[in-house]
């Protein structure tokens, strides 16, 4: 079995968003593998731990800098990596086209994708990829096991949770709670340097962006920041209730 695990390089959540020339500028910010992708990579590695014939391929679609995120994925344990390079940003639907083409080329049986991506705020990549491949999907998975070609798991839906089964090939999107991702160890970091990293230019995929970004603006919501000292709990509570009733008029 061959598993494709999608890796998105995003801004570290602790970093602030910087702007330059009307666009988000990541050039001087700390970038990391999207946390949600780590759960998919970990799940793929667990399947490989249980079955040595499993191969885990990490894929990123994005600028050259994504190589760093793929190196991290290799250091965590992926067998090899593919980077489809594009300096022009692609939207999610266009990206799913690239992912689906790679999945076919690599004869992939199972794709892991983060439930959402912290740069796009999108939930669409897994489902769009599944549709292109004609595969079923389970999104926001919080438990997953495999037996033969049958996946069994639990995932979140509008009203709570559902337990499900589905057959491979399939797309699974991942989130917190699925597992505890492992960290790269020093020997694995050294080994990762010798692992295969295939780079492909986007040109060969015949994909163009479907959305045009017109403008980008960092949100600034001015907050009042009236912070009271709570040493005298009763007095602070009385003052807060008064502010909420008579100034903000929300209770």
Residues 176-205 that bind another protein (CB under 8 A): 176-177
Size of interface with another protein, in residues (CB under 8 A): 79
Contact set for another protein, span 52-91 (CB under 8 A): 91
Which range of residues in 48-56, 72-80, 131-139, 187-195 is near another protein by CB under 8 A?
131-139
161 belongs to the binding site for another protein (CB under 8 A):
yes
Candidates 132, 179, 181, 192; binder of another protein (CB under 8 A) is 132
The contacts of residue 234 (CB under 8 Å, 6+ apart) are: none
Q: Cα 84 to the chain's mean position, in Å?
A: 16
Among 145, 165, 193, 201, binds another protein (CB under 8 A): 165
Return the closest-CA partner of residue 78 out of 202, 182, 201.
182
Applying CB under 8 A, does 122 fall inside the site for another protein?
A: yes
Q: Is 92 in the site for another protein (CB under 8 A)?
A: yes
* Phi, psi of 136, rounded to the nearest 5 degrees: -75, 170
Q: How many CB atoms lie within 10 A of CB 118?
A: 17
Single out the residue of 121, 162, 118 nearest to residue 138, CA to CA.
162
- Residue 204, Cβ density class (10 Å: 0-12 exposed, 13-18 middle, ≥19 buried): exposed
Sole window of 48-56, 66-74, 134-142, 191-199 interacting with another protein (rule: CB under 8 A):
134-142
Using the rule CB under 8 A, is 139 a contact of another protein?
yes
**Site membership for another protein, residue 214 (CB under 8 A):** yes
Closest CA to 40 of 75, 10, 78, 12: 78
- Among the listed ranges 47-55, 71-79, 132-140, 183-191, the one in contact with another protein (CB under 8 A) is 132-140
């Amino acid at each position: 079995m061959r598993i494709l695990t999608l890796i998105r390089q995003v801004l570290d959540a602790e970093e602030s968003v910087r702007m330059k020339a009307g666009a988000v500028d990541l050039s001087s910010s700390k970038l990391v593998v999207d946390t949600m992708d780590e759960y998919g990579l970990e799940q793929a590695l667990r399947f490989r731990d249980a079955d040595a014939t499993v191969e885990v391929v990490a894929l990123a679609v994005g600028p050259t800098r994504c190589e760093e995120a793929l190196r991290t994925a290799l250091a965590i344990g992926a067998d090899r990596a593919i980077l489809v390079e594009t300096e022009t940003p692609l939207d999610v639907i266009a990206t799913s086209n690239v992912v689906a083409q790679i999945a076919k080329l690599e004869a992939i049986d199972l794709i892991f994708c983060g439930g959402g991506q912290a740069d796009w705020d999108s939930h669409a990549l897994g489902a769009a990829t599944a549709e292109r491949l004609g595969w079923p999907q389970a999104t926001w998975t919080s438990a997953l096991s495999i037996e033969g070609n049958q996946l069994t798991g639990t995932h979140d839906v509008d009203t709570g949770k559902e337990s499900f089964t589905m057959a491979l090939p399939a797309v699974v999107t991942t989130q917190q709670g699925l597992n505890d991702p492992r960290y790269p160890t020093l020997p694995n970091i050294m080994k990762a340097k010798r692992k295969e990293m295939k780079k492909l230019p986007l040109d060969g995929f015949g994909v163009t962006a479907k959305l045009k970004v017109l403008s980008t603006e960092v949100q600034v919501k001015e907050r009042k920041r009236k912070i009271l000292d709570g040493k005298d709990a009763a007095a602070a509570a009385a003052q807060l209730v008064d502010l909420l009733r008579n100034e903000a008029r929300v209770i």
